[in-house]
Structure formats: structure tokens, C-alpha cells
Amino acid sequence: MHDLAKKIIEKDVRALARGISFLENDHPDKLSILKDLHAEGKGAHIIGITGSPGAGKSSLVNRFIQYLRSNGLTVGIVAVDPTSPFSGGALLGDRVRMAEHFTDPGVFIRSMGTRGSLGGLARTTKETVRMMDAYGFDVILVETVGVGQSELDIMKVADTTAVVLNPGSGDVVQVFKAGIMEIADLFIINKADLPGVSKLMTEIEGMLDLVKHDADYRPPIAQTISTQKKGIEDVWGFARKHLQYLKDTGEGDRKKTRILQDEVIEVVHYELMKMIERRQQDGDWRGQIERREIDPYTVASNILSELDF
């Protein structure tokens, strides 16, 4: 077994931090470490929290951490915010907000950098969650901005996906269009201190009637005020109920199978892309295309034939 994998399983928190850096930097040992860790997954309850920027996800996560800790549970947090490309930004805000947890050994917070492509970020995020699960947190929270395919893709790693909405924001239509409705296991109306809660409630219920009318699981709706610690226990209660549903119906197992099968394709895809990118640096095909000396199909065929399988 890889030394780092061994240390992560032994709950060496510095090894965990280093391991995640390996993932982010695409270290050559990455796949071998993940392989060693696979059987070591402890079955954390992985909860994804998604929603528009400013919806209050980070504030909610902060309260959630407090709540889980006061119930004796350990928590790993992965914060992904590709919408803040500037250093600092939202992540710095999160850091300040979550500072009180930094000295607590039962809490581990990792902000995912904005480097690399979104596809790469989604991959790294999922691998980080796997690594945290092998380390052995009771609950793993993944915060991500709900825009675009990659964010939806990140959420596939979660057992339970919570979608955060605000009253008076007109978010519901967006959520519906973006295909988030389909992946939501639980809705959270955060900023429930603001006007428009019952209108939003009706909108979500209406949408659920359309999308989930024949489903055997109907996502519940929680109301929270993150700035006042309100409603967090409902979120936790609903999340536990959803996990129980996954267990009771076998849907959890089926979901897991799909995720693992997809993972194979994803890893192959990602590794192939890296090989191709390295190959692309060889030769002057970009120049040849610029000078219209060659067609893209010939270049593509050449690159593919050079990758020896």
C-alpha cells in the first residue's frame, strides 16, 4: 500500500492534506493512492449543497458544522466556487466565517482552487471526497455553486443533494431549467427571514408536482435562517430520512453502482485528455493549421495513432 494511503487511513490529518494536494496537482501516484483507498471508504453521509452565489450556502455550511459537532459528529468540508476566479473573494469570506472551526480536529475544511478546467475541478472534487471518506469523517459536506454541467456533475458524488433557494429571488425557474430539479433530494429555503417564503414554497411544490408526481420519493422543503441558526436540525433530519430511503429501497446501491461505473469512464477520459494534451505540444500542427497546410481530421488521426494502446 502507498505510504500516504496508509497514513490517511490511520487518520493522519497532514497526510490527508498532502493527499488532496496530490489530487489537485495530478501527482503521478494519484491513481495508485486512490486505488489503495477505495476499499477503505467508511461510508460517510455525503451531502451536497448547491445554489446560486449569495444564496447563503457557506453561512449554512458553517451552521451545519456547528450543529453536527455539537452532536458529536466529525465533518469534512469541500468548498468549490469556480465563480470566484480572483484570489481571496468568496473563499476568503468563507475562511473568515469558518475560522472558528480551524482548531477543531473534528473538522477539516478544504477549498478547491479554481485552477484548471471545470472538468478537472469536478474530478478533483470527487476524488477529494473519496479521500476524506477513507480518512473517516462521519459527514462530508460539498458546497458548490449551482451553475452549469460541471457543478451538476460534482453533485453526483453526494448521497443527498440539497438545493438552496431564497425567497424573492426568482431562482425556481432557473433551477428548473438547469436540470437541478432532477438531482434535488431536499430543498432549503434559506433567508427565511425575508418576505416571500410562502410564495417560494408554493412555486417549489408546483414544480415538484410536475417533475416528481410519479416518483416514490418527494424532496422535502426545509426553511432556514443561517444568520440566526434556525432550521438546521430540519435540514439534518430530512437528510437522514433521505439516506434511510436510499438504504430501504436499494436505490443507494444502484446509485453507487452507476457512480462507480461512470467513474471508470471519467478517469479514462481524463487520463486520455492529459495524454493528448501532452502530445499536442509535440510538432507544429497549430502552425500548420494556421497556414492552412493541414486539415483538423488528419491532425486528430495523427495524434490518436501516436497514443499507443
- Is residue 226 a contact residue for ligand GDP (CB under 6 A)? yes
Q: Which of 30, 34, 50, 56 binds ligand GDP (CB under 6 A)?
A: 56
Least distance between ligand GDP and beta carbon 34 (Å): 29
Q: Quick one: which segment of 225-233, 241-249, 258-266, 291-299 binds ligand GDP (CB under 6 A)?
A: 225-233
Least distance between ligand GDP and beta carbon 189 (Å): 9
Q: Which of 57, 126, 130, 242 binds ligand GDP (CB under 6 A)?
A: 57
Least distance between ligand GDP and beta carbon 49 (Å): 9
- Is residue 54 a contact residue for ligand GDP (CB under 6 A)? yes
Closer to ligand GDP at the Cβ: 15 or 141?
A: 141
Closer to Mg ion at the Cβ: 50 or 58?
A: 58
Selection from Mg ion, ligand GDP, none that 191 binds (CB < 5 to 8 A by kind) is ligand GDP
Q: Which of 42, 53, 117, 179 binds ligand GDP (CB under 6 A)?
A: 53
Residues within the interface to Mg ion (CB under 5 A): 57-58
Residue nearest to Mg ion as judged by C-beta position = 58
Q: Which of 191, 219, 223, 236 binds ligand GDP (CB under 6 A)?
A: 191
Least distance between Mg ion and beta carbon 56 (Å): 8
Only one residue has cell 432550521, namely: 231
Determine whether 297 is exposed, middle or buried from the number of CB atoms within 10 Å of its CB (0-12, 13-18, 19+).
exposed
Closer to ligand GDP at the Cβ: 59 or 125?
A: 59
User: Rounded distance, CA 235 to CA 49, Å?
Assistant: 11
Q: Which of 193, 234, 251, 266 binds ligand GDP (CB under 6 A)?
A: 193
The size of the chain, in residues, is: 309
- Is residue 234 a contact residue for ligand GDP (CB under 6 A)? no
Selection from Mg ion, ligand GDP, none that 193 binds (CB < 5 to 8 A by kind) is ligand GDP
Least distance between ligand GDP and beta carbon 64 (Å): 11
Strands 107-112 and 45-51, by their bridges, are unpaired
Residue nearest to ligand GDP as judged by C-beta position = 56
